[in-house]
Every structure is written in structure tokens, then in C-alpha cells.
Amino acid sequence: MDNPHWPEGWLRTRLDYTPRDAALFRAALTHRSAAGANNERLEFLGDAVVNLAVARHLYERFPQATEGDLSRLRARVVSTEPLAEVAAELGLGEALQLGPGELKSGGFRRQSILADAFEALCGALLLDAGLEAAEALILRCLAPRVAALPPPETLKDPKTRLQEHLQSRALALPVYTVERIEGEPHTQTFEVSCAVQALGLTSQGRGSSRRRAEQQAAERILTLIEARANER
């Protein structure tokens, strides 16, 4: 990128941030396919600080969430796809230094490259501004996705939610039964019943695997339980 103000101008425009050490951010925005210092080491550091920032925020925001719940919530925010989306919204792809091959193949739009560059940028922020400032800026970038997170319990699959609901009421676990298998071995459809005898509820589920059919049947039982509760 033949721009004497890169990356300072981009940082001020996109992040409202003025770097102390611009060289850190030049490396953060340089893919390994390009010449010069690249962002691989900063990506390693940034991965850790992004996970820390989000983990601490979720820990404080969801005081009743279990470790599993918090891990599932964090994955919604810090996996490759959401980080790449944030990077694209920041216009990070336009600021990246790429080698000729990656430039020709559209590397500035590739999710893995964008997500890695965002993490590298966060690593540079940590070194340039310190942990507190880096966390604040990271959470600012991720704020819309953090705000849109669903309640932790809804991230569990239906079978797990049904099991936990029954256990919380000291009721026997559901019984799943394969009622029918149709089709050739590589294109089978499973029909499964789910029975909760203690509540007098049964349901059916269909799917391309036994597990999917069981999940559908469990989801239908949960719907019946919710409907029954709303009638009271």
C-alpha cells in the first residue's frame, strides 16, 4: 500500500485511535504473503487478548451461566466468522498488505485472513496501549454481537435442555425409541419417538440421522411443556 499515512490514517478514521508505535500496526496489517514483518506473532497475542476481553465481559454479564454456557456464548463472538464480519465492517481488508498471489485471489475478502488480521490488530493494541485500553476497544468493536447474544440456556441443544428441565424437577429422563428407518443406507430417514412418562407427553421427530430425529422430538416435548405452563 503506497500511502505514507498508512496505517495511522486508517486507525484514526476507523478506530479513532492514534498509535504510539505505528510499526506494530504495520505488522498487524501485513499478511505473511507480503514482504516485511507480518502479523502471525501479533495474531497469536491478539487471539489471547480477544478471548480474555470477551470472557471477562461474559463472566460479569451472565453471573448465573455455567462454564459450558459461557464457552458457547464466547464462541458466538470470537470464532472465525463473526471476527471476519467485524473486520469487514471496519474496512480492514482494504488496509491489509497482501502478496500478489493473495491479492489476485481476493484474499482481502477471505474470512480466515480477515479474522486473523483482526486478532493481530488487537495484539498490536495490547502492546501499544496496554490491557485495559485494548479490552475497551475490542469490546467496542464487538459490542453489537455481544448485545445480540441470546440467553445462555437457549444455546444448549434440545435434548440437553429437556434432560436438565426434568432433572431440575426430579423426574425420570425421557425415553427415545427408533420407530422407523426408511431409505437406502446412505440416504436414510429416521423416525424417533420421545416419551416423558412422568408428564404424560410423547412426540415424534424425523431426521437424516438418529441424533437429529431425537433432537427434533425433544424440541417438540419442550414446546408442549411450555404450552402447558402457559395455560396455568
What domain range is 176 assigned to?
A: 156-231
Q: Is 85 exposed, middle or buried (0-12, 13-18, 19+ CB in 10 A)?
A: middle
Burial 89-118 (b: 16+ CB within 10 A, else e): ebebbebbbbeeebeeeebbebeebbbbbb
38 plus 138 within the same structural domain: yes
Query: 75: which 3 cell numbers?
Result: 464462541
pLDDT at residue 228 above 90? no
> Do 117 and 181 sit in the same domain of this protein?
no
**Do 56 and 99 belong together in one domain?**
yes
- E-strand ranges in the chain read 175-182, 189-196, 201-207
Could you tell me the pLDDT band of residue 3, with boundaries at 50, 70 and 90?
A: low
DSSP 175: E
Burial class (CB in 10 A: 0-12, 13-18, 19+), 126: buried
Please say if the pLDDT value at position 48 is more than 80.
yes
| CA 128 to chain CA mean position, Å | 26
Q: Is residue 3 included in any domain, yes or no?
A: no
Over residues 126-142, the pLDDT tens digits come to 999 999 999 999 999 99
Same domain, 43 and 146: yes
Do 143 and 165 belong to one domain? no
Verify that 113 and 139 share a domain, yes or no.
Answer: yes
Rounded CA gap, 83 and 194, in Å?
A: 38
Segment 50-77, tens digit of pLDDT: 999 999 999 999 998 889 889 989 988 9
Out of 132, 150, 168, a domain closes at 150
What CATH number is given to the structural domain containing 33?
A: 1.10.1520.10
How far apart CA 32 and CA 101 sit, in angstroms, is 11
What is the set of active-site residues?
A: 47, 119
Q: Do 62 and 145 lie in a common domain?
A: yes
223, three cell numbers: 414446546
Residue 1 predicted with pLDDT over 60? no
Q: Are residues 121 and 169 in the same domain?
A: no
The total number of structural domains in the chain stands at: 2
The mean predicted confidence, pLDDT, of the chain is 92
pTM: 0.69
- 126 and 225 belong to one structural domain: no
pLDDT of residue 4: 55
Distance between CA atoms of residues 4 and 2, nearest Å: 7
Contact 118, 15 (CB under 8 A): no
In the numeric block, which cell numbers belong to residue 188?
436414510
Residue that is last in its domain, among 129, 150, 171? 150
Listed residues 150, 169, 199: the one ending a domain: 150
Confirm whether 207 is domain-assigned.
yes
In a domain, 1, yes or no: no
